[in-house]
Amino acid sequence: MEAPSSHVTASFSDCDDSVSMEDAAPDADVEALRRLSDNLAAAFRSPDDFAFLADALVAVPGAPDLRVHRCVLSARSPFLRALFKRRAAAAGSSGGVEGNRLELRELLGDEVEVRYEALELVLDYLYSGRVRDLPKSACACVDEGGCAHVGCHPAVSFMAQVLFAASTFQVGELANLFQRHLLDFLDKVEVDNLPLILSVANLCNKSCVKLFERCMEMVVRSNLDMITLEKALPQDVIKQITDLRITLGLASPEDNGFPNKHVRRILRALDSDDVELVRMLLTEGQTNLDDAFALHYAVEHCDSKITTELLDIALADVNLRNPRGYTVLHIAAKRRDPKIVVSLLTKGARPSDFTFDGRKAVQISKRLTKHGDYFGNTEEGKPSPNDKLCIEILEQAERRDPQLGEASLSLALAGDCLRGKLLYLENRGNIHLHMV
């Protein structure tokens, strides 16, 4: 929103004293624009007070509907103007609020999961022309003592969501602002979050060329393996990465940086949930579960039952490190599935092991978990979020690393009430609990 230029040159005269309005005009213009911004923002921030004016709803799964005003959004976003115009033409009339209900997928597709808080910030910007304070609940992680909330997953994910939504809505100034913000802090972003940024920058296309190029360079030179990248990025981007790695001598032209065919056959069998086929492939003697890092792969990409079945084969080292220095439990902490975490702990996975950069499994899980998901109130009758449950399990396991046993298992499977009792007993040192 541009401030109108001021040509006020009048002055008030009283005897010999005169006060020029030229110096005061800019301040007055700024104040007028601030009031305009606040007034327009109130129409969005106070939906109950302005409900009689709202003529459309944006439905976000698992969150309250957002009441909006088509005239404001159409004036600010070419994308939304075209969308509302098409819908009005198809409906034949403007219709009521419920008749103009927009599903989030209709607005932003399903290539990037844009959450309620990020969409709310973008819409608020369309009304006010200013960026509100970023919500701590959505863009700060749980590791309050050890993280600056710049490169952790919640911070990066939130900024990427805002960038994608702003770019989709064709709000160039907001997209540029968040692109610059990501560029400024890209060196501080944890390497596991780079594929997310690269994916969003690729989707934003021409509006994020600088971010795409810089992030591409960092991914190419990183220790991210091709299997991980292949799961997160489209094929055209994967080809660019492999070509650049080969050019720089970071990958072999023979395999493009991918595992050999015997390993890939095992991984494909895991993708198909076919553990029996995995057993058959192992009998061929061409590779084994550890050489294929099959347990790491299953924990990261497969259903929890596949991890359990692989553990039952008892041919994989549960504390093996992959080339990046992650144990299987570190990968499980990234996945944040309580069943998988407990399965590994009961098989002897060590929660005290550090990654090469000095993080334990519980810290990995904390860096991935949003502040609001962990500290927010859980509705009565609903289970706690998996993120929170995983952190509790890992913290409990760390407190008594040598003895995991049934208390950890019962903690994952019990309801909130029983889990609270288990934690209470654990804090008192009463860990000899037997679940019948």
Q: 16-20, 330-334, 398-402, 403-407 — which one is most confidently predicted on average?
A: 330-334
Which of 30-44, 120-134, 140-154, 368-382 is the least confident region? 368-382
What is the pTM (predicted TM-score) of this model?
0.83
Q: What CATH architecture applies to the domain 317-427? A: Alpha Horseshoe (1.25)
Query: Looking at per-residue confidence, does 12 or 57 come out higher?
Result: 57
pLDDT at 412 over 50: no
Query: Looking at per-residue confidence, does 12 or 322 come out higher?
Result: 322
| Euclidean distance between the first and the last CA atom of the chain, given in angstroms as a whole number | 66
pLDDT in tens, 240-253: 999 999 999 999 99
Using the structure block, give the residue that is written with the tokens 């409900």: 51
- pLDDT score for 5: 41
Distance CA 137, CA 51 (A): 26
pLDDT at 12 over 50: no
pLDDT at 162 over 50: yes
- pLDDT score for 399: 86
CB atoms inside a 10 Å sphere around CB 188: 12
Question: Which of 120, 123, 114 shows the shortest CA–CA distance to 157?
Answer: 114
pLDDT in tens, 89-123: 887 655 556 568 899 999 999 999 999 999 999 99
Residue length of the chain: 436
Share of the chain above pLDDT 70, in %: 83
Where are the domain boundaries for CATH 1.25.40 in the chain? 317-427
- pLDDT score for 430: 39
pLDDT at 421 over 50: no
Residue 280 to residues 260, 283, 362, Cα–Cα distance (Å): 18, 5, 35
Where are the domain boundaries for CATH 3.30.710.10 in the chain? 34-112
pLDDT in tens, 284-308: 999 999 999 999 999 999 999 999 9
Distance CA 429, CA 424 (A): 9
Which of 224-238, 311-325, 410-424 is the least confident region? 410-424
Residue 176: burial class (beta carbons within 10 Å; 0-12, 13-18, 19+): middle
Tell me yes or no: is domain 34-112 CATH 3.30.710.10.
Answer: yes
